[in-house]
Amino acid sequence: MPQKRTSMKKIRDIIRLKETSDLSERKIAKALNISRPVVSQYISDFRSCGLTYEQAKTISDSQLLDLIQKRKVKRSIKYETLIGEFPRYIQELKKTGVTLMTLWNEYQQENPGGYSYSQFCYHFQVWRNASKLTMHIDHKVGDKMFVDYAGNKLSIVDRKTGEILPVEVFVAILGASQLTYVEASSSQRSEDWIKSNENAFLYFGGVTQAIVPDNLKSGVAHSDKYEPTINFMFEDFADHYQTAVLPARVGRPQDKALVENAVRVVYQRIYAPLRDRTFFSIEELNEAIWDLLEQHNNIPLQRLKISRRGLFEKIEKGALRALPKQRYAIKHCRELTVQFNYHIELREDRHYYSVPWQLRGKRVRVIYDERNVAIYYDNTRIVQHRRDYTPNGYTTLHTHMPPNHRSYAQWSPERFIRWARSIGDNVEKVIKIALKSRKHPEQAFKTCMGILNLVKEYEPDRLDKACEKALDFGFYSYKRIKNILDRGLEKDIFTEPKDHHISSHENLRGSEYYK
């Protein structure tokens, strides 16, 4: 009759009592109602696997059982030859497309009488696990989407120059079903990072409770063990999709083990089949990636006998949050100082936007996308303008002007020109030049108003003559024209004489003198 297997509960109790009490092996056997030799064997096996009691508490039952049931292997020449290759195998497995099956085939060619594939893998796993264990994580459905860029890049070819251009490869995987999304992008910049994360949600047809990225700059502005600073754009994207960003902890590879394993599978099932193909655009490359991706997601998982796609449809699809009605609009953030004219300049468009005049000289936060420009002060949004791409243009709200500027807001260049024309032709010319010479509209309006109001102090004819004199000298300011009128200089209009006859004089030698 076969011996009854000891339960994992009793195995853990054996380890706990031996490590935390002074009980002998005989007393432990009596307390647990099992034989002393069994207790002695489990204690010996546990100690030989190199685990501490604290480590044993953190791993799953299956992992612990695999380790403590390890038997001593007779260190034959065959075994010594195999384990001598393990350090090199670790390096080889880091290379694109290399698997244990690849290494075993090479091992069999060099050692025809060597271990079978299953024994080969067993010895390798025991050797590797003896040095380091990873934490087992049970992933809840709809909980997390793990995202990262593959370390190795793919490439496209420039049709015109023939230059080979490397491209990034984004990988996202759902925790529970392991449904995977892959796409190529031109860079790891924030805009490409956001677009790839959004495309992953669209591919999955829903939103997870959280996104778990590595600590790359596009996602995490400043990494920290306790309070990492999320990149502004990525945080705003997460708000739009009503999800959270939970960066992987620095130096904790178990936090991103799932996506790193997904990357290794992507190397085998996408990179390897594409290695000899040439692509001339990212769009063309992505089409090929997505064809292979569908094959990958529909391959049955060995243990569960169901594909990632099937598992997703069965357990995880219904747990995802609904997608928002609109896609995320890429936003940018700038810290700017309000100029003296109570406007901020958006350098990308060379366009100016107003804020309340009381904020002149203050630092404000400007958040903008392709449609809107929002301005914040003291963490409060004070205004949102419609984005205007007109260079050197101004978007100004009447309520933002100081009281003495608001009266000018009702005026227009056409109105000033009509008023000037009613006074005189020269006044009209001066006003037109003044309107064109000022950078800011309100500055031009003030000058025009000042010049035209001079008609209240002086006769229209005098003002027109003063403007004529100003035009001769290239003066178009209110102060210069008023100075001409105050001093009566408009009466002394310079006119070039029509007759250029020069009177004779005894000291004038004439042209004959030089012959």
The CATH number of residue 15's host domain is: 1.10.10
Same domain membership, residue 148 and residue 292? yes
Flag whether 181 is in a domain: yes
The answer to whether 159 and 173 are in contact (CB under 8 A) is no
Residues 401 and 425 in one domain: no
Q: Which among 68, 96, 115 is the end of a domain?
A: 68
Residue 508, in any domain of the structure: no
pLDDT digits (tens, 9 = 90+) for 447-492: 888 898 899 899 999 999 999 988 888 877 888 899 989 888 877 6
Say whether both 119 and 217 belong to one domain. Answer: no
Does residue 285 fall inside a structural domain? yes
- pLDDT at residue 240 is higher than 50: yes
Does 150 map to a domain? yes
CATH code assigned at 240: 3.30.420.10
351-354 vs 210-213, strand pairing mode: unpaired
Q: Are strands 144-149 and 164-174 parallel, antiparallel or unpaired?
A: antiparallel
| Distances from the Cα of 367 to the Cα of 157, 377, 384, angstroms | 37, 11, 9
pLDDT at 316: 87
Residues 15 and 121 placed together within one structural domain of the fold: no
Give domain status of residue 497, yes or no.
no
Q: What is the domain count for the chain?
A: 5
In a domain, 504, yes or no: no
Mean pLDDT of the 354-382 span: 89
Residues 184 and 208 in one domain: yes
CA 75 vs CA 71, 72, 78, 84: distances in Å: 12, 9, 8, 12
Domain around 347: 332-406
Considering the domain architecture, whether residues 56 and 101 belong to the same structural domain is answered as: no
Residues 341 and 363 in one domain: yes
Enter the DSSP assignment of 409.
G
Regarding whether 394 and 274 lie in a shared domain, the answer is: no
End position of a domain, from candidates 367, 384, 406: 406
Instruction: Identify the band that residue 378 occupies on the pLDDT scale cut at 50, 70 and 90.
Output: confident
Residues forming beta bridges with residue 334, ordered by sequence position: 366
**Predicted pLDDT at 362:** 92
Long-range contact pairs involving 149-152 (C-beta distance under 8 Å, separation at least 24): 149/188, 149/216, 150/263, 150/266, 150/267, 151/263, 152/96, 152/267, 152/271
Q: What is the pLDDT of residues 424-448, one digit of tens each?
A: 999 999 988 888 876 665 567 778 8
Residues 349 and 204 in one domain: no
Q: Give 263-274 as a DSSP string.
A: HHHHIIIIIHHH
CA distance 289 to 283: 10
210 and 292 share one domain: yes
- Backbone torsion region of residue 103, taken as left when φ is above 0, otherwise alpha when ψ lies between -120 and 50, otherwise beta: alpha
**% of the chain exceeding 90 in pLDDT:** 29
Amino acid at position 56, single letter: A
Is 137 inside a domain boundary? no
pLDDT at 371: 87
Give me the mean pLDDT over the 374-388 stretch: 89
- The identity of residue 228, as a single letter, is P
> Domain check: are 298 and 225 in the same one?
yes
Interval 76-97: pLDDT, tens: 678 778 888 887 776 566 556 7
User: Is 61 among the domain residues?
Assistant: yes
- Whole-structure pTM value: 0.51
